[in-house]
Amino acid sequence: MTLSNNNQKAIAIWLFICCAAIFAMVVLGGVTRLTGSGLSMVEWEPLMGVLPPLSHSEWQETFLLYQQFPEYLINNYSMNLEEFKSIFWFEYSHRLLGRAIGVIFIIPLIYFIITGKVRKSLIPKLVGMFILGGLQGLMGWYMVKSGLVQDPHVSQYRLTAHLALAFIVYAYIFWAALDLFFSRQDSYIETSPGKLKRFSVLLTLFIFITVLSGGFVAGLKAGYVFNTFPLMGGRLIPESIFALSPVWKNFFENMATVQFDHRVMATMLFIIVPLFWLTATRQNIPVRARVGVHLLLAMLVVQLGLGISTLLLHVPVPLAAAHQGGALMLFTIMLFVSHELWRAPT
């Protein structure tokens, strides 16, 4: 292995570590939302907000600031300081991990550039990743601000945009890491048919869209209604599915419609993924892609089980957080399979 290949492997491992941190960020973000902690920090201090309150007086000052906002006045007016601390720590941890990801990314990036270990053609991509990460932080605060108003409810549009950008940043970094870790010079005996490659891309996009539909479910707290499966209110299609006007608003603002859409997409995945698995396993595809396809099918079963269990048990935090993490895991495996198929010669 040449020094250049060693450098590529080192950069790839660093990017995989960044992906692992983003994965943890997504799960922690889910826990923060599920525990109602997301609006506990009413100020955004990207640089100065690293340290939490350290003394009783600082805690009192932070709590007093929170008490001035509608979430406390409307929803949590009976909350005491100790109860406030319990939600504060989730949001603080979420923001601290976001800052840590920035450090984990920028320090090795500077080192790799200064030591000349990064190909010049790769530098714009890495800088682009850093910029996207910064935009994700801004999007997070933009989301929080939507709940610091008279109606203390985070916008489902902004929440879904925040989730979407997290998945996009993750996918961009993960794909680049795969490019570096598995050299294109690897020899393949197998070939990947063009139709299967296109199928993999469409399936990846459909999984991403299904995740976004889950974002609207989370944003509207639609998982707390119709806690039966497969029926919704005793019907396959709920009566209130088109209760809002104009019709398009139902797909984004109607809890019944949003949950129904997510169910339909998940059911479609339960059909499409096995079809993809059957098509792929009948082809002469790369070994790693074949392993990935098997993992994809297994992860689909786990994810659907988590989703249905979360619904039937009225959204317990551990299960719901696992379901959000499972969505990213399913997406990760699909990215890996697509990457393997597109790397192989046609």
pLDDT of residue 191: 54
Distance CA 161, CA 136 (A): 9
Distance CA 329, CA 12 (A): 19
Task: Report phi then psi at 232, rounded to 5.
Answer: -125, 110
Which tens digits make up the pLDDT trace of 176-221? 999 999 865 454 445 557 899 999 999 999 999 999 999 999 999 9
Band (pLDDT 50/70/90 cuts) for residue 100 is very high
pLDDT of residue 266: 96
pLDDT of residue 189: 44
Q: How many residues would you count in the chain?
A: 346
pLDDT of residue 187: 42
Question: What's the rounded mean pLDDT across residues 109-115?
Answer: 94
Name the CA dihedral angle for 307, 269, 174, 14, rounded to a multiple of 10 degrees: 30
Distance CA 341, CA 200 (A): 8
CA distances 174 to 23, 183, 188, 345, Å, are 11, 15, 22, 21
Question: What's the rounded mean pLDDT across residues 139-150?
Answer: 89
Please check the confidence at residue 56 and state whether its pLDDT lies above 80. Answer: yes
DSSP state of 75: I
pLDDT of residue 344: 60
pLDDT of residue 47: 67
| Orientation of helix 123-145 relative to helix 81-114, angle to 10° | 160
Which tens digits make up the pLDDT trace of 274-303? 999 999 999 989 899 999 999 999 999 999
Band (pLDDT 50/70/90 cuts) for residue 6 is confident
The average confidence (pLDDT) of the chain is 92
| CB-side neighbour CA atoms (13 Å) of 183 | 12
Which tens digits make up the pLDDT trace of 231-256? 998 999 999 999 999 999 999 999 99
* Burial of residue 162, with CB atoms counted within 10 A of its CB: 0-12 exposed, 13-18 middle, 19 or more buried: buried
- 253 contacts 197 by C-beta, under 8 angstroms: no
- Which residues fall within 8 angstroms of residue 160, CB to CB, at 6 or more apart? 212, 215, 216, 219
- 257 contacts 247 by C-beta, under 8 angstroms: no
pLDDT of residue 46: 73
Please, where are the H alpha helices in the chain? 3-34, 56-66, 70, 81-114, 123-145, 156-181, 194-220, 250-253, 255-281, 287-312, 317-343
Which tens digits make up the pLDDT trace of 60-69? 999 999 999 9
Chain CA centroid to CA 23, Å: 7
Question: What's the rounded mean pLDDT across residues 300-307?
Answer: 97
Assessment of whether the complete model's pTM goes beyond 0.85 = yes
Question: What's the rounded mean pLDDT across residues 4-24?
Answer: 93
Q: What percent of the chain has pLDDT over 90?
A: 80
Per-residue DSSP letters for 100-130? HHHHHHHHHHHHHHHTT-S-TTTHHHHHHHH
- Given CA atoms 298, 300, 306, 312 in this order, what sign does their dihedral have? negative
Per-residue DSSP letters for 209-244? HHHHHHHHHHHHTGGGS--SSS-BTTBSS-GGGG-S
Distance CA 105, CA 122 (A): 15
Which tens digits make up the pLDDT trace of 67-83? 999 999 998 999 999 99
Distance CA 193, CA 341 (A): 8
- 256 contacts 226 by C-beta, under 8 angstroms: yes
Band (pLDDT 50/70/90 cuts) for residue 5 is confident
CA distances 141 to 43, 101, 148, 218, Å, are 9, 16, 11, 18
Band (pLDDT 50/70/90 cuts) for residue 150 is confident
